[in-house]
Structure 1
């Protein structure tokens, strides 16, 4: 007993230290909000400027992305449906030539880009859409995902077309390069350079905030929730959690895109499979309710009196969530896809069109179906991650632990991808050198710790705005350069038809290896 009494002062001191640490963090949060808020709030309001449509606020930036997706779908002749099967063959490596320039395979490039989009948007974002727009929002979310496949095709084809192959064999590509080089080809070098610099600045801001601090913060919060909430031993130790996370992230990103790709090609399929299997088990338990769920989705999509402002309101919720989830038209994925081993730019555009399908049409739809079938969206007071967690808990009481693991994995993979996006934007502005790369990576890792330690509300809002601001410059470039993409696609399809490009003899390939 005396031994435990001797520990009491130590325990009290630790409790006081933790309380003081938490108070300091809250005070620092407020101080940062007071300083940053007045500066960033007008920028955030401008980027996410909304207009009332049928009683619902519609962000114009979402319209900018969706209209572009419709135009690209029509211009490229519904390429996302025509070449879907060929995309799968490319990912399998059926047309891969190891002699081609590049750093990663088609599958690794796809996994790296997917790791940047598959995340909290698939878990929390879908719940928000269904809770605000009803089951019908799922229909419009799927449609937006299908349309966004054409945007990914366009931007990733350009990413490979205009990439730089550095002296050491590494690749630098993405909107910064096709904006500057593509416009220069047509005598508009000045405009292209301005758009490229604007994009690069926004990409760095997005990588530090939404692709880093927000992910670290949500990971820490989820870890706290599953280890006791307010009584968790992690309370007040966000900085320590951030240091551990930064060390793990650092071990991967120091190795560059090849190291990132080696991790994401294993991590992305694993985390997607875990999440989808859990959803399929619930759907299996409730198999008889699936037809009714699809009926509610279709009926809700076109019901004259629907949740959230009628048909238009439901459409807006679905389109908004799809745009926030798969980032089609943002331009970020083109940076990862540019590093692929290929001599045909169109091949990577074709591979990239699978991203919105996997992210939005498959994973987001799975989440929505579980929420609709379990009726969780009708429970008042639940939203975001809590709503999704509640829906899965109806079948698995232990699911919050699986969800916590999924959030950690999603956040980790997102940080890996966005570290690369930000790095390439950084080196575009400050030059390709080892010193420049090290400076950026150290900054990125420092913000992992900061993100875990603070809420940083206005900073996160600003970084989200930066990510969507990337689409302003990117889509202007896509409109201007889409004839280039059309020519690349026509040339590639002609080579396929003539037999100049043929499937690789895998047996011969294995023997050569």
Structure 2
């Protein structure tokens, strides 16, 4: 910020050290290949193709079994004696709080500004495909989770890659991939899911309280106070473990989601006559876009990229939260996890895009002109300004609502990524109380740092490490998919029998008999 020359010096020093590493890794992770005259990001294709493959392999589970997923989430099949820490609903909201964040507000605005209305269509499609990837990885997260002596749960790609691949005879490969995955998720937790979120939420508070020249929050003291307040909130939640995370996010995520979607609907209602034209522009722009670099493929790439980066399906982060669920059948949580990309991308991201298209504020028009001239729309600040402008056309008081939304999104994201980082840290350094306390202190310290420094290169490096983890994670998902199919079959039969009136005891007795018969057949 303007008054903090010493922070600028620290930023420059840290960025100069890590910039070569960030550039090198970014060039690898976000490499593009020419495709019909357009540069196609390989990592985006990797994530989208995985969603398509799993959609086909599991018979479009995201459509066929969504009703069962909703019933499970609502608690219809809850088992009081099931191992785990949180309910299906709490596990879902905990994971969603890590994906529903500033990307839904600013990232979508940049995507629509660059790719036009048509990018929305491809964003929705990629979100629907991501539901299948989320189902696979979260089923595996529960399938291979471990329990600590105090009843807390460890789960995620670091466990299902290690244990699952060992079952297939690739123990060494599994250990390597598990270790790399844990490190990458830990790195992103500290700099992407933590530092970046705090920094950007503070920027929004500065903007509505007088700007960098007049706001007290723009000073070093103001930044420290803001960082300490956030650190205390997050620290108290993390001290309570996953039960505390689940209790907070189960209230925070629905509240902030309803508040934000309600604001979107309010803007849309004020411009209701424009809704048919907006929907028409989305479909026309998806297949015949104008003013978009790369034409149809340009709109597709931008839409897919926004969806993939928003819902993180296939990255391996969400299974850490979903693994803590109370269940005896792993695929129940896999089905619940499908709801996450739907809410994150298909609902919230789409509502943001539709609001921007309908309101068509000056910032959006300027972004479209820049895109047509071959210029980019850069930075989160640019994205927030487009969203801010769209809402302000109908809601003059919206800047404060946007500030509250940004703060809630940021805090919920930091809380969940704090938990993800904790489990990754424990995989590397052990899950002792001393080890976990060291991590929590480090994580909270980085919150305060995030309020003072931007460390842009480290944030870019964190993005690269997270999506590099997706490459290894999806390799494991392909190999372990047959195990997920068996788990799905068990759950579908379980749901069928529960709906038919069979008791839990009857079903469990038959399941144990079937497992014994299968084990005897293998001998």
TM over 0.5: yes
Among 140, 143, 157, the alignment partner of 2:139 is 157
Say if 1:306 and 1:314, in contact at 8 Å, map to a contact too: no
Instruction: Report the 3-state secondary structure (helix = DSSP H, G, I; strand = E; otherwise coil) of the residue aligned with 2:460.
Output: helix
Say if 2:317 and 2:420, in contact at 8 Å, map to a contact too: yes
> Are the structure 2 counterparts of residues 262 and 498 from structure 1 closer, same or farther at C-alpha, using a change threshold of 3 Å?
closer
**2:163 equivalent in structure 1:** 181
**2:53 equivalent in structure 1:** 71
Q: For residue 39 of structure 1, report the CA deviation from its aligned partner.
A: 2.6
**2:477 equivalent in structure 1:** 478
Among 213, 236, 248, the alignment partner of 2:219 is 236
Instruction: Report the 3-state secondary structure (helix = DSSP H, G, I; strand = E; otherwise coil) of the residue aligned with 2:226.
Output: helix
**2:191 equivalent in structure 1:** 209
Q: Distance in 1 between matches of 2:455 and 2:35?
A: 31
Q: For residue 491 of structure 1, report the CA deviation from its aligned partner.
A: 1.6
**2:243 equivalent in structure 1:** 258
Say if 1:54 and 1:310, in contact at 8 Å, map to a contact too: no
Q: Distance in 1 between matches of 2:342 and 2:323?
A: 20
- Confirm whether residue 378 of structure 1 aligns to residue 360 of structure 2: no
Q: For residue 412 of structure 1, report the CA deviation from its aligned partner.
A: 0.2
**1:508 equivalent in structure 2:** none
- Confirm whether residue 367 of structure 1 aligns to residue 352 of structure 2: yes
**2:442 equivalent in structure 1:** 443
Residues 398-448 of structure 1 deviation map (CA, whole Å, 9 limit, x = unaligned): 111111111110000000000111111111111121111101111111111
**2:179 equivalent in structure 1:** 197
Give the stretch that moved more between structures: 84-93 or 334-343: 84-93
Gaps of 5+ in 1: 1-17, 506-513
**1:415 equivalent in structure 2:** 414
Q: For residue 305 of structure 1, report the CA deviation from its aligned partner.
A: 4.8
Say if 1:62 and 1:319, in contact at 8 Å, map to a contact too: yes
Say if 2:289 and 2:299, in contact at 8 Å, map to a contact too: no
- Confirm whether residue 148 of structure 1 aligns to residue 133 of structure 2: no
Say if 1:92 and 1:107, in contact at 8 Å, map to a contact too: yes
Among 104, 115, 125, the alignment partner of 1:122 is 104
Say if 2:19 and 2:457, in contact at 8 Å, map to a contact too: yes
> Are the structure 2 counterparts of residues 398 and 293 from structure 1 closer, same or farther at C-alpha, using a change threshold of 3 Å?
same
**2:510 equivalent in structure 1:** none
- Confirm whether residue 308 of structure 1 aligns to residue 293 of structure 2: yes
Q: Distance in 1 between matches of 2:392 and 2:501?
A: 49
Among 215, 219, 222, the alignment partner of 2:204 is 222
> Are the structure 2 counterparts of residues 502 and 79 from structure 1 closer, same or farther at C-alpha, using a change threshold of 3 Å?
farther
Cα RMSD, aligned residues only: 1.7
Q: Distance in 1 between matches of 2:461 and 2:451?
A: 17
Q: Distance in 1 between matches of 2:148 and 2:477?
A: 24
Say if 1:94 and 1:504, in contact at 8 Å, map to a contact too: no
Q: For residue 322 of structure 1, report the CA deviation from its aligned partner.
A: 0.3
Q: Distance in 2 between matches of 1:503 and 1:109?
A: 26
Q: Distance in 1 between matches of 2:238 and 2:502?
A: 33
Among 89, 102, 108, the alignment partner of 1:107 is 89
Q: For residue 467 of structure 1, report the CA deviation from its aligned partner.
A: 1.3
Give the stretch that moved more between structures: 377-386 or 200-209: 377-386
Q: What are the residue-to-residue correspondences of 1:338-377 with 2, within 5 Å?
A: 338-376=323-361, 377=364
Residues 489-508 of structure 1 deviation map (CA, whole Å, 9 limit, x = unaligned): 01221233344986999xxx
**1:11 equivalent in structure 2:** none
**2:511 equivalent in structure 1:** none
Say if 1:97 and 1:504, in contact at 8 Å, map to a contact too: no
Q: Distance in 1 between matches of 2:262 and 2:57?
A: 37
Q: For residue 466 of structure 1, report the CA deviation from its aligned partner.
A: 1.4
Q: Distance in 2 between matches of 1:160 and 1:501?
A: 26
- Confirm whether residue 50 of structure 1 aligns to residue 37 of structure 2: no
Say if 1:95 and 1:502, in contact at 8 Å, map to a contact too: no
Query: TM-score, with normalisation over the residues of structure 2?
Result: 0.91
Query: TM-score, with normalisation over the residues of structure 1?
Result: 0.92
What is the number of equivalent residue pairs in this alignment? 487
Say if 2:118 and 2:289, in contact at 8 Å, map to a contact too: no
Q: For residue 379 of structure 1, report the CA deviation from its aligned partner.
A: 2.9
Say if 1:54 and 1:313, in contact at 8 Å, map to a contact too: no
Gaps of 5+ in 2: 371-376, 505-523
Instruction: Report the 3-state secondary structure (helix = DSSP H, G, I; strand = E; otherwise coil) of the residue aligned with 2:39.
Output: strand
Q: Distance in 2 between matches of 1:71 and 1:179?
A: 19
Q: For residue 40 of structure 1, report the CA deviation from its aligned partner.
A: 2.4
